[in-house]
Amino acid sequence: MIEARNLTRRYGDFTAVDDVSFRIEHGEVVGLLGHNGAGKTTIMKMLTGFIEPSAGSVLVDGLDVQADALKVQASMGYLPEGLPLYPELTVVDYLAYAADLRGLEPADCVPDAIAATQLEEKALDSIHTLSRGFKQRVGVAQAILHKPRFLILDEPSNGLDPNQTQHMRALIRLLAENATVIISTHIMQEVGAVCDRALILRGGRLVVDERLDQLQQTAQARLRTAADADVVSLLNPLPEVESVTPTADAWMVTLHGEPANGTAAIARCLVAAGLPIYELAPQIRDLEKLFAEVTEKLAEEPTKDEQHAA
């Protein structure tokens, strides 16, 4: 379990992270989302003990990161945005060096890390000859040498082409089978592809903390039935239905309560009336649009620094 309590980080008069709190349970894959400069990397550095918070604290399995840094870091794997690579070394030599730094026997851990990241064909190549995608894999390999319980990845798909991005997502899903994973990104699609939950930052503040299935859920369902059906008269009496609105080729039904209960009630009603159901599906919120809406709305609000300046 990772728990951030009122994390704040200031650089002079600038507040990079502003009173952020959250809790991440074992086995979760969490996306830390925000535009460049939102505070994602600063939070990750505080979670790993790389920098100290100006206020607040981080607990990892009950241990304070600042008071027990070495114990906490021994259970963490970290891929910073700027890859910590030595370009003149071969992949296997670099990983052996990283293993030595962690007090590990390279023969016991390097082959597994190479296999997990599918680096076998590049193991004896110098890092400077690798593509961006393979360098990212080397970075992940060093982060998982010690089989960490917590894995923190800062922009893991940064600069990758579509094929490399797909491989990185598959790798993250594989690693998440045995570790709690936090991924920093400014791409909502990345979160939607691999994460269970999203933390959205804006101007150093945490503005959204929701599971993805809840974020995507809406209170509407799309219905197509017989063209001559009096859908409004039929559905409006249902307690699960708030309103029924016609569109060009269907009906949009706004629901009360749990959408699954609402669509089930609609289906029962149509069947009882002897009407066909050509389509009846809850509407899914587009995560990219949601992210834009959240950040645009909050962009109109002053931050604490701006309020202070005023």
CA 146 – CA 148 distance, rounded (Å):
6
Amino acid 179: pLDDT: 92
CA 108 – CA 58 distance, rounded (Å):
31
Q: Pick from 253, 188, 182: which is nearest to 215 by CA?
A: 188
Same domain, 63 and 181: yes
pLDDT digits (tens, 9 = 90+) for 191-207: 888 999 999 998 899 99
Same domain, 101 and 158: yes
pLDDT digits (tens, 9 = 90+) for 88-99: 999 999 999 999
Banded model confidence at residue 165, pLDDT cuts 50, 70, 90: confident
Same domain, 133 and 21: yes
**Domain end marker among 214, 244, 266:** 214
Contacts of 263 (CB under 8 A, 6+ apart): 221, 255, 280, 281, 282
| CB-side neighbour CA atoms (13 Å) of 6 | 3
Amino acid 300: pLDDT: 53
Mean pLDDT of 272-281: 95
Average pLDDT, the chain: 89
Question: Does pTM surpass 0.85?
Answer: no
Same domain, 171 and 272: no
**Domain end marker among 172, 192, 214:** 214
The angle subtended at Cα 126 by Cα 124 and Cα 131, nearest 5°, is 105
Q: Look at the alpha carbons of 271, 274, 276, 279 in this order and tell me if their dihedral is positive or negative.
A: negative
Give the Cβ contact number of residue 265 at 10 Å: 18
| 308: pLDDT strictly greater than 50 | no
pLDDT digits (tens, 9 = 90+) for 46-76: 999 999 999 999 999 999 999 999 999 999 9
State the total domains in the chain: 2
In-domain check, residue 262: yes
Looking up residue 99, the CATH number of its domain turns out to be: 3.40.50.300
Amino acid 301: pLDDT: 54
Percent of the chain with pLDDT over 70: 94
pLDDT digits (tens, 9 = 90+) for 3-39: 999 999 999 999 999 999 999 998 899 999 888 888 9
Same domain, 204 and 236: no
With helix as H, strand as E and coil as C, how does 48-100 read?
Answer: CCCCCCCEEEEEECCEECCCCHHHHHHCEEEECCCCCCCCCCEHHHHHHHHHH
Banded model confidence at residue 299, pLDDT cuts 50, 70, 90: low
* Residue 285 DSSP one-character state: P
The SS3 call for residue 305 is: helix
In-domain check, residue 299: no
| 285: pLDDT strictly greater than 90 | no
In-domain check, residue 220: no
The CA–CA distances, whole Å, from 305 to 15, 21, 53, 71, 308 equal 7, 19, 17, 35, 5
The DSSP string of 156-216 is: TTTT--HHHHHHHHHHHHHHTTSSEEEEEES-HHHHHHH-SEEEEEETTEEEEEEEHHHHH
Same domain, 131 and 232: no
Same domain, 149 and 198: yes
Banded model confidence at residue 215, pLDDT cuts 50, 70, 90: confident
Which residues form the domain of 262?
226-277
